[in-house]
Structure 1
Amino acid sequence: PTSGILGGNQGIAIKNTLLKLLTSHYRHYRGDIANPKRILIASTTGLGDTLWATPAIRALKKEHPDSKLCVLTSPIGNQVLKNNPYIDHILIMKSASLIHAPKLVCEIKKFSPDQIFIFHTSQRIALPLCAMNRAKSIIGTQGLNKGLDALLTQSFPSTYQHEISRRMQMTGLSGDETLEWNISSEEAQWAREFMKQFSTPIIALHPGSKDRFKQWPAEHFIKLGQKCKEQLRAQIMITGNASEKPLADLIAKSVDGAVSLAGQLNIRQLGALLPHFKCFVTNDTGPMHMAFATKAPTIALFSPTDPNLCGSHHAKNSVTIAKNKTCFPCLRKKCHDPFCMRSIGVEEVLQHIAVNLK
């Protein structure tokens, strides 16, 4: 621990220096390779970040069909990438703890990648673990590696572009940039059976988000649900994870006949259900990207985050409603009442839903 002895920034600098020294012993090769035989992609963050990697994964495998492609990802990323036909192997980074590092280093070394792409890693240890394996090429984006850019053999400047395009840029390839979500026949059959208990059309509302400043107010979701029930004769369904259950239940209790599924579905089940919804209204959160990937009719509510960077990107059946930020600079996680999200009107969203129902 550095608290009480060194400031936070000093502590991070020392940790980064130690990590660089640790990995420098293993770095013997530099430069690009034209025909990599074993490709490793590091994407160890959340649901949406993992989905953003799928177009680049697809492009790499199509460009190098005889190569082996491995993804280093998080436990939730493992669920996102299930059934993906372009991936040969998945390594799971369960935590950033140094206790688990030796095993992961051995697993990466066993795969023996000759080319590594650092798409996005929240854990400072992830890039050094990859660098220990003597890959000929380690490619990433400048300034996104927690002070460890020196471990890259090739880097691209961070520019204003969608996160999907940023990942594609690293591969040097072009092509289809739509997201990939692969529903198995078993998952599809389960979804069909599950949906038989509900009347149609179904309008699903996803009121939660990891960050509160991205959330449309609960009272807006309630009003929207009531109007959809009364004017459009729709079955209202509320989705969310276990932590979002109180919010989802509050909305469901306020809308006649609404059903809350919060905490009842895993992400694979939700992914299988999404194509069955007549409309999916969601904040900027992981299931939004799942909806884009499954081509579900989606209305995405944005502010203060930028949809040009992290919103719909070549997604079919999607509408983005975005409002300008009201605070400069944006308070983000310190925001207790997101005024900008309140500026998205219920009637505006309802009009788009009505179009979808037609």
Structure 2
Amino acid sequence: MKKIFVADRASLGDTLLATPTLRAIKETYPYSRTIMMASSGAKEILDGHPFVDELLLYEKGDSIFPIIKKIWRADLALVLDFHYRSSLFAWLACIPRRIGRSSKKQTFLTDRVLGTPNASIYEAENTLTVARYAGIDTKKTQLIMAPCRENEKQHIKQLLVENKIDLIEKSIIVLAPYSLSYLKDWPEEYYQQLIDFLVLKEFVVVIVGGKENRERAEKLSGSVNMVGLLNIRETTYLISLAKLIVCGCTSVLHFAATTDTPQVAIYGPTAPIQWAPQRNCRVITKSLPCSPCYSTGRECQDDKLCVRQITPAEVCTAVSQVLHL
């Protein structure tokens, strides 16, 4: 194999969950050239990634011809997402072997080896199923982020100084309260109780997330609000400096999985066995008859009962156990 095209234009978390597949390609074909196509939002995850030789960013509406030219007659295409255009690119580029996930729109464009992801295994394993069909495999499912750059590390250090945070005197704990869906979010009043507990234990609590949630985070008193101030690699670097991160099923949890920092993950409508990191992660969830339901698209009839039933006391206990308080 000389040139391998990999397409994954899914969410940021899904892109990170595909990085073990990128590792598998390099382990199986160390001298191959891996060309990765992803959404523009994934640039910080993949730009400079050790297992990506060339990164192509594509959004719907962009010209397809530069992409096709770059991947023309590659030896193999692995289509890891369910986007019709991803498979179409591989077909138009005359790539002889095209392997992807099963969907009606992609019929005849790829060899379909995986339909609905198996909710009983880790999602990184689901993604690897596509590669295994081509004889590409790895036993390492650790997620890998492109390394943080020196100027990004300096930005974090500057923010710590501005907020009078001395990591020698006090340890930080990162919270990421917000996901792309309110259904997955633990109530803010519960997070406030957790913050109060952590402050009593003399931790500095830092809130991270997307800029659209900055005003919401201002309501969480006793914490340092860095929501909207950090890019993906900076967020990941900050997490690597922390004693712990607490969050729900969000892309930030997958960022954390690329570090050695322990995680306490609050799961409601999504399946932790499929989406939670496999190492250093303490999952808190409730076994309700209606959960997990997120992938079904059904409207919640119980006002997020699955996450509301997880009490601040339970999370505080989990934090204490993980940190040996």
- Normalised TM-score (structure 2): 0.88
Q: Is the 8 A contact 1:183 1:271 kept in 2?
A: no
For the 8 Å contact 2:246–2:264, the answer to whether it is kept is yes
One-letter amino acid matched to 1:119: L
Amino acid paired to 1:167: T
Return the match for 2:209 from 240, 256, 259: 240
Question: What does the per-residue CA deviation read over 1:213-272, in whole Å, with 9 as the maximum and x for residues that have no partner?
Answer: 000001100111111112x11111111111111221111xxx33x111111111121111
For residues 219 and 333 of structure 1, do their structure 2 counterparts lie closer, same or farther at Cα, with a shift above 3 Å needed? Answer: farther
Q: Which amino acid aligns with 1:348?
A: E
* Structure 2: distance between partners of 1:279 and 1:250: 22
1:134 aligns with 94
Q: For residues 278 and 346 of structure 1, do their structure 2 counterparts lie closer, same or farther at Cα, with a shift above 3 Å needed?
A: same
**Percent of residue pairs identical:** 25
For 1:136 and 1:321, the matched residues in 2 are separated by 45
Q: CA 1:333–1:210 in 2, change beyond 3 Å: closer, same or farther? A: farther
- Counterpart in 2 of 1:19? none
Structure 2 counterpart of 1:80, which letter? Answer: I
Give the aligned partner of residue 219 of structure 1: 189
Say which of 133, 139, 142 aligns to 1:175.
139
2:219 equivalent to 1:250: yes
Q: Displacement, 1:326?
A: 5.6
Structure 1 residue corresponding to 2:111, chosen from 153, 176, 182: 153
CA distance in 1, matches of 2:67, 2:214: 35
Is 2:84 the counterpart of 1:124?
A: yes
Report the AA paired with residue 147 of structure 2.
I
Structure 2 letter corresponding to 1:234: F
1:347 is aligned to: 313
Q: Contact 1:204/1:239 (CA < 8 Å) preserved in 2?
A: yes
1:43 paired with 2:8, answer yes
Query: In structure 2, how many angstroms separate the alpha carbons of the residues matched to 1:228 and 1:209?
Result: 22
Alpha carbons of structure 1 residues 88 and 201: separation in structure 2 relative to 1, 3 Å: same
Matches for 1:65-144 after TM superposition, within 5 Å: 65-93=30-58, 95-97=59-61, 100-109=63-72, 112-121=73-82, 123-142=83-102
8 Å Cα contact 1:39-1:113 kept in structure 2: yes
Q: Determine if the alignment matches structure 1 residue 206 to structure 2 residue 206.
A: no
Change (3 A) 1:283 1:146: farther
The residue type paired with residue 106 of structure 2 is L
Mapping of residues 12-51 of structure 1, within 5 Å: 36-51=1-16
* Structure 1 range deviating more: 290-299 or 160-169: 160-169
* SS in structure 1 of the partner of residue 213 of structure 2: helix
Q: Give the corresponding residue for 1:28.
A: none
Q: Quote how far apart the aligned CAs of 1:127 are.
A: 1.4
RMSD (CA atoms): 2.2
Cα deviation code 1:257-313 (max 9, x no counterpart): x11111111112111111111111111011110001122221111011001111112
- Where in structure 2 are there 5+ consecutive unaligned residues? none
Q: Choose 211-220 or 327-336, whichever is displaced more.
A: 327-336
Residue pair 2:18, 2:127 contacting (<8 A) in 1 also: yes
**1:47 touches 1:76 (CA, 8 Å); kept in 2?**
yes
Find the residue that maps to 2:282 and give its secondary structure: strand
Query: How much has 1:125 moved relative to structure 2?
Result: 2.0
* Change beyond 3 A, Cα 1:212–1:181: same
- Kindly provide the amino acid, as one letter, of the partner of residue 280 in structure 1: I
List runs of 5+ in structure 1 lacking aligned partners: 1-35
Contact 2:77-2:95 at 8 Å conserved across structures:
yes
Amino acid at match of 1:139: I
Q: 1:328 to 1:278 in 2, by over 3 A?
A: closer
Residues 51-77 of structure 1, C-alpha deviations (whole Å, 9 max, x = no match): 011111011111101110110101122
SS of the equivalent of 2:205 reads strand
Q: CA deviation at 1:39?
A: 0.5
Q: Secondary structure at the match of 1:120?
A: coil
1:353 alignment partner AA: V
1:305 pairs with 2:270 = yes
TM-score, structure 1 normalization? 0.80
Q: Deviations over 1:180-209 (max 9, x none)?
A: 124345144554454343142212211101
Secondary structure (helix, strand or coil) at the match of 1:100 reads coil
Q: How does 1:246-325 map to 2 (within 5 A)?
A: 246-251=215-220, 255-256=221-222, 258-313=223-278, 315=279, 317-325=280-288
